[in-house]
Structure 1
């Protein structure tokens, strides 16, 4: 059975924190691959910026291209409406019945699990894998397999703010993603 990690998010932009989380889980659980899954419309966030799904997808493809076990899963970008993990995992399990899925979440989402759409049904479709995030609690009544990772305080919103304020983002993103952002004038004031 193929073991597939899923790391969902807005990836607006994808940064080294995303890559480190994926790499740590990939090796700790000896997964066959990690799929980065950009969502179209997250049900718990309002989309506030003007960066297109296409630009987020392009940046993500650039960010993961050098890792042989990292791929991009576009399934949620091709659906209208809110991106509910339950709906996505029903579809992926149907398309790949010989695979087992490990859905990677940060401690911020572990706290939010009781509010997830169809959480009890979703637990039958995936193994949740949690990683710590500073200032968030990772204690839960749900079966979440924790993986130790280096803790970092890096967020896409912080990076967007830095770009907006013309501050350096060196080492927060892969150089190839920084180049894409600069060439396409993303997140500028």
Structure 2
């Protein structure tokens, strides 16, 4: 069965940490494809940036050229109004009917998962790949996930399973200590090492992240 990874995020800007974890995502789960999904209007975040959704999409398009397993979808950028992960996954379920779908998220997002819109439906419709950040760990897991996660981690990764959701995998690779917020804050000071050269060129071309 084909395996596809979904990597949603603001990507403001996409940086070397995103690339590192996307490649680990593909390597550890033997994914055929990792689809970057830039957010259009993330309902749970207040953005402080002068970049548009279309510009963030263009920056991700610079990144996907770095690995043949990478591609990008504009589904959340084109959608009007707030976007919810369950709706995004449902769109991909309609396209990838005979595919094992994995959603990449960080440990910090996992700890907040019970606050997500229709999170229980999400757990049934997609598999979760969890990248660990810093010292955050499973000891902080919300009560609503304490029963689900051990069962999800124990599920066989290759056996077909109905709707083919409900699995979980802890990635061995951790996030690099790179922050989009810090990149934006430091850009005007000439700190450009944490993004690929093509992304840096685009940021300067579009005059983004200037104080």
Indicate the TM-score class for this superposition, using the shorter chain for normalisation. Answer: over 0.9
Q: Equivalent residue for 1:17?
A: 17
* Corresponding position of 1:169: 192
Give the secondary-structure state (helix, strand or coil) at the position aligned to 1:92. helix
Give the 3-state SS of the residue equivalent to 1:76 in structure 2.
helix
Aligned to 2:60: 60
More helix by share: 2
Q: Which residue of 1 aligns with 2:126?
A: 126
Partner of 1:159: 183
1:188 — aligned with what?
A: 210
**Structure 1 residues 78-112: Cα deviation after superposition (integer angstroms, max 9, x where no partner):** 11111100011112101221122100001110111
| Alignment gaps of 5+ in structure 1 | none
Which residue in 2 is equivalent to 1:74?
74
Q: Report the equivalent of 1:148.
A: 172
Residue in 1 aligned with 2:115? 115
2:8/2:37 contact within 8 Å kept: yes
Paired residue secondary structure (1:17): helix
Give the structure-2-normalised TM-score: 0.84
- Post-superposition Cα deviations, 1:53-72, rounded to whole Å, max 9, x if no partner, equal 11101110001212100000
In 1, Cα distance between equivalents of 2:138 and 2:198: 33
Q: What are structure 2's unaligned runs of at least 5 residues? A: 153-167
**CA RMSD, Structure 1 to Structure 2 (Å):** 1.4
2:66 is paired with a residue of what secondary structure? coil
- Which TM-score applies when normalising by structure 1? 0.94
Instruction: Give every structure 1 segment of 4 or more consecutive aligned residues whose post-TM-superposition deviation is greater than 4 Å.
Output: none
Rg larger for:
2
